[in-house]
């Protein structure tokens, strides 16, 4: 087409020109895409088909034959269990069928050997050399040291086998290996715990510990026979006479005693602290325990076993103000050694006695500080160990009572949850199936019922 313009008194315009092609056929559906577009894949890798033509339907074959509108309709991503040539066509009413797309795939038939992490976990001081290797020659190792999944890019490190590096802190090492033409290996895992501090007192002294007199009366701490003990009887400490907190009632509830803290600290607020504790008085009138995340005399957590009234208390003191976090009636026989453990990571803390979970609490009051030994009376301490902690402890939930139910009868269940994390919920399972969410009964309490 060509055109020009005229007007009286003006010279004619130049000639403009444009060419057009009028299609006399039917529009064609866009050719499908195949992703990935061929090559070596794993048996678990998905094959995806798509077309740019909205409303079109894709049909495909995996045996190399030519697809038609009568071939298998594409339902969504699929996998291949053996070598195959995938061909696809897209169709839509009122349009011509698309061209045929094709891609050839080789499915890996073997599996790379699972990596070997040497040593396979354990406890170490200072640093720990690590080697990761696989029996499959030429494979690439991928590993992480923060417990994350090494099959996902992010914090992983990749390199040829073997991989050699050193740990300078507690870690969970995970690794897998891959090699073109083979399926990737399974993931290997090993946990390494770093000793942050330890003292068995077998050297006959308590160097590195600082004793604190918290009552105004004189304690007597000494190492004898491989144990570190406070030997002044509680009758001489006089905790009941009031005045130590300028409030006799406060003294009765939050009992001052004496403690000795690890002077150099442990460098972190997240750790696994364990110690063997024994009440040594003839009358069993002691309170013995441990403290952690102590920054000064007004800020710490404390676990106290009362041999006086047979209770166990988990308390905190923040800016000099006391609060009880948890309490129960699980006492410990006088004169019987008990291994106390505190696992603290972030706001979640778990307390165990001889491997039995006593308390699990969520508290943000204190996040760092050293460990200490607490004594109100004659208490002995041995085999102190503080190690790194590589996992978050769980909140302790007292087990619901057993019930006998006839037929399809409904029944109520309850559990006690101390220091519920913000936003958390409690649910019960019946034969593995979830029941309705539990509700606080009464509101604001630690009792949950469903």
pLDDT at 236 over 70: no
Per-residue pLDDT tens digits for 393-428: 655 555 444 444 444 556 556 565 655 566 677 777
Task: Specify the pLDDT at position 361.
Answer: 83
pLDDT at 217 over 60: yes
Sign of the dihedral through C-alpha 37, 43, 45, 46:
positive
Instruction: Note if the bond before 286 is cis, omega within 30 degrees.
Output: no
pLDDT at 54 over 90: yes
Task: Specify the pLDDT at position 313.
Answer: 87
**Class for the domain spanning 200-387:** mainly beta
Per-residue pLDDT tens digits for 98-128: 999 999 998 887 889 999 999 999 999 999 9
Task: Specify the pLDDT at position 187.
Answer: 95
Query: Which range in 35-39, 154-158, 346-350 is most confidently predicted, on average pLDDT?
Result: 35-39
CB atoms within 10 A of CB 189: 17
Per-residue pLDDT tens digits for 354-377: 988 888 888 899 999 999 999 988
**pTM attached to this predicted model:** 0.66
**Where are the chain's structural domains?**
33-107, 110-194, 200-387, 414-449
Confidence of residue 209 (pLDDT cuts 50, 70, 90): very high
- Select from 3.40.50.300, 2.60.40.730, 3.40.50.720, 2.40.50.140 the CATH code of 110-194: 2.60.40.730
Let me know: does 88 contact 75? Beta carbons within 8 Å: no
Task: Specify the pLDDT at position 438.
Answer: 73
Structure tokens that stand for 108 in this block: 């890996």
- Provide DSSP, 257-281: -EEEEETT--S-S-EEEEEEEEE--
Task: Specify the pLDDT at position 18.
Answer: 80
Q: In whole angstroms, what is the distance from residue 60 CA to residue 100 CA?
A: 9
Closest CA to 90 of 34, 40, 143: 34
């Amino acid at each position: 087409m060509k055109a020009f313009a005229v007007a009286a008194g003006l010279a004619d315009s130049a000639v403009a020109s444009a060419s057009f092609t009028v299609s006399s056929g039917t529009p064609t559906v866009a050719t499908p895409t195949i992703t990935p577009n061929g090559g070596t894949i794993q048996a678990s890798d998905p094959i995806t088909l798509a077309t740019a033509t909205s409303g079109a339907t894709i049909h495909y074959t995996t045996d190399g034959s030519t697809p038609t509108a009568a071939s298998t309709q594409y339902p969504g991503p699929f996998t291949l269990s053996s070598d195959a040539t995938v061909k696809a066509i897209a169709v839509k009413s009122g349009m011509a069928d698309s061209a045929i797309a094709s891609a050839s795939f080789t499915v890996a038939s073997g599996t790379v050997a699972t990596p070997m992490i040497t040593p396979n976990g354990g406890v170490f001081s200072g640093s720990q050399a690590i080697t990761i290797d696989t029996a499959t020659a030429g494979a690439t190792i991928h590993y992480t040291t923060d417990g994350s999944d090494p099959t996902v890019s992010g914090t992983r490190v990749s390199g040829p086998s073997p991989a050699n590096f050193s740990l300078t802190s507690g870690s969970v090492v995970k690794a897998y290996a891959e090699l073109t033409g083979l399926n990737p290996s399974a993931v290997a895992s090993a946990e390494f715990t770093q000793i942050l501090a330890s003292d068995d007192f077998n050297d006959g002294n308590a160097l590195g510990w600082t004793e604190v007199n918290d009552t105004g009366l004189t304690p007597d701490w000494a190492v004898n026979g491989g144990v570190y003990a406070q030997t002044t009887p509680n009758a001489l400490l006089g905790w009941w006479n009031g005045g130590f907190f300028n409030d006799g009632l406060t003294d009765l509830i939050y009992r001052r005693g004496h403690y000795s803290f690890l002077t150099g600290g442990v460098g972190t607020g997240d750790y696994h602290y364990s110690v063997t504790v024994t009440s040594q008085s003839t009358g069993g009138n002691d309170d013995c325990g441990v403290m952690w995340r102590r920054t000064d005399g007004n800020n710490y957590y404390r676990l106290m076993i009362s041999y006086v009234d047979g209770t166990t208390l988990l308390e905190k003191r923040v800016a000099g103000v006391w609060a009880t976090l948890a309490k129960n009636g699980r006492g410990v026989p006088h004169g019987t050694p008990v291994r106390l453990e505190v696992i603290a990571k972030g706001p979640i803390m778990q307390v165990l006695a001889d491997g039995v979970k006593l308390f699990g609490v969520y508290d943000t009051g204190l996040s760092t500080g050293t460990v200490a030994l607490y004594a109100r009376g004659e208490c002995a301490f041995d085999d102190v160990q503080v190690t790194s902690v590589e996992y978050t402890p769980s909140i302790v939930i007292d087990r619901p009572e057993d019930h006998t139910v006839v037929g399809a009868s409904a029944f109520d269940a309850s559990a006690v949850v101390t220091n519920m994390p913000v936003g958390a919920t409690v649910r019960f399972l019946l034969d593995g199936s979830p029941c309705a969410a539990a509700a606080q009964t009464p509101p604001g309490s630690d009792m949950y019922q469903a």
